[in-house]
């Protein structure tokens, strides 16, 4: 089961060489990838999102494409379209941007809802239907989508039903002082991603994703996961709680975290560590939370502390 754990850790090492001072965030993205999930990041421009996606693609040995979402990006730009080739006297399908292993969907909340829906449908189904023909996208198919902070000029908020398709959400944020100093010193020495070595390939990544399903979860931990998710549905600060898709995502991420730690089973701390990443984009705070100046992370932390962790020792 753990044949490829060292490979995954080697990939983390390579990505950390390119993206400095973001070890926790890089580990969390790898966790989502192992769980075969997509990642949503809310960040300002210039903090290294493209570098991050490029470094991951290089380390994992998979194909990568990037789409800069603007109001004029059409669904067909993502899914593909057919054009008539006079030399062949027939229509030939031109693959869109989603026909790749790792797609960086940059500033997704700047484009139209129709284009957003096209991408999010592919994320869910992992296939596209164009002109009556259904085509599967490459396996693995992973998305790192970014959105500008809410309220930024030229943006429109993603619908809740669509944002729920992302397994986790996080923010890179600014680098720490020492990391940014190192970035400044390396200016002119070439792209930081040039030093990233390929340590995996698509076949090994698929094998690692398959291994995740074999991680064991006790019934008490399943119960703990469900109590945490259902607690979001009756919290006084939450207008709309997390859906059952959050339960599924929390199970998958907890298993991936346990596998990455070299364990054959999930422990409660795996669950609580994944909780903010899985829930923060799946809950909507009410006016009471705004009046009391409660943020999503505060509310999630309160939920985690209100649910008792199961005892993992041997039964007496």
pLDDT digits (tens, 9 = 90+) for 268-285: 999 999 999 999 999 999
- HSE on the CB side for 138, CA within 13 Å? 19
Picking from 187, 208, 229, the residue at the C-terminal end of a domain is 208
Its domain, for residue 157, covers 5-70+101-127+135-208
Biggest CA–CA distance in the chain, Å, is 78
Residues 201 and 219 both lie in one domain:
no
Mean pLDDT across the stretch 22-37? 95
**Average pLDDT of the chain to the nearest whole number:** 89
Stretch 154-171: mean pLDDT: 82
Q: What is the pLDDT of residue 154?
A: 63
Q: Are residues 236 and 290 in the same domain?
A: yes
- What is the share, in percent, of the chain residues with pLDDT greater than 90? 56
Who contacts 173 (Cβ-Cβ below 8 Å, separation ≥6)?
43, 47
By CB atoms closer than 10 A (0-12, 13-18, 19+), residue 128 is buried
Q: How far apart are the first and last CA of the chain?
A: 30
Rounded average pLDDT over 113-131: 86
In a domain, 150, yes or no: yes
Please compute the mean of the pLDDT values over residues 146-156 and round it to a whole number: 70
Domain match, 182 and 291 both: no
Question: Is 44 a residue whose pLDDT tops 80?
Answer: no
pLDDT band for 316, please (50, 70, 90 cuts): very low
Q: Among candidates 30, 105, 115, which has minimal Cα distance to 65?
A: 105
Q: What is the pLDDT of residue 189?
A: 66
Domain shared by 286 and 147, yes or no: no
Q: How many domains does the chain have?
A: 2
| Mean pLDDT score, 247-273 | 96
Residue 316 domain-assigned (yes or no): no
Of 154, 177, 208, which one is at a domain's C-terminal end?
208
Provide the CA 67 distance to its chain's centre, in angstroms. Answer: 16
- Over range 37-44, report the average pLDDT: 88
Q: Which two tokens mark 146?
A: 């970014």
Q: Which of 30, 25, 29 is nearest to 5 (CA)?
A: 30
11, 61: one domain = yes
pLDDT average, residue stretch 41-55? 84
- Whether 195 and 110 map to the same domain: the answer is yes
Residue 312 lies in a domain: no
Using one digit for the tens of pLDDT, what is the confidence trace for 168-182?
A: 999 888 888 888 888
- 286, 200: one domain: no
pLDDT in tens, 72-108: 999 999 998 888 888 877 888 888 899 999 999 888 8
pLDDT at 151 over 70: no
Are 300 and 158 within one domain? no
203 and 223 in a single domain? The answer is no
Please determine, for residue 51, whether its predicted confidence score (pLDDT) is greater than 70: yes
């Amino acid at each position: 089961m753990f044949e490829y754990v060292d490979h995954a850790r080697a990939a983390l090492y390579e990505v950390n060489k390119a993206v400095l001072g973001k070890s926790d965030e890089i580990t969390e993205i790898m966790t989502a990838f192992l769980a075969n999930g997509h990642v949503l990041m809310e960040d300002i421009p210039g903090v290294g999102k493209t570098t991050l996606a490029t470094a991951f693609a290089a380390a994992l040995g998979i194909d990568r494409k990037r789409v800069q979402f603007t109001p004029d990006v059409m669904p067909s730009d993502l899914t593909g379209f057919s054009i008539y080739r006079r030399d062949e006297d027939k229509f030939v399908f031109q693959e869109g941007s989603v026909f790749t292993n790792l797609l960086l969907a940059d500033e997704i909340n700047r484009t139209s809802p129709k284009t957003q829906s096209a991408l999010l449908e592919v994320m869910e189904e992992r296939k596209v239907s164009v002109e009556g023909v259904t085509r599967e996208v490459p396996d693995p198919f992973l998305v790192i989508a970014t959105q500008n902070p809410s309220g930024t000029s030229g943006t429109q908020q993603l619908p809740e039903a669509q944002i729920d398709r992302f397994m986790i959400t996080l923010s890179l944020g600014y680098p720490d002082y020492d990391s940014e100093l190192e970035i400044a010193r390396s200016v002119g020495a070439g792209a930081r991603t040039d030093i990233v070595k390929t340590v995996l390939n698509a076949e090994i990544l698929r094998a690692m994703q398959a291994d995740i399903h074999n991680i064991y979860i006790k019934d008490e931990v399943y119960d703990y996961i469900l109590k945490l998710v259902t607690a979001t549905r009756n919290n006084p600060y939450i207008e709309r709680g997390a859906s059952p898709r959050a339960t599924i995502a929390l199970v998958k991420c907890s298993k991936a975290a346990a596998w990455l730690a070299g364990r054959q089973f999930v422990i409660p701390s795996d669950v609580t560590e994944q909780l903010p990443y899985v829930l923060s984009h799946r809950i909507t705070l009410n006016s009471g939370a705004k009046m009391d100046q409660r943020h999503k992370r505060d509310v999630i932390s309160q939920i985690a502390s209100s649910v008792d962790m199961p005892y993992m020792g041997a039964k007496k």
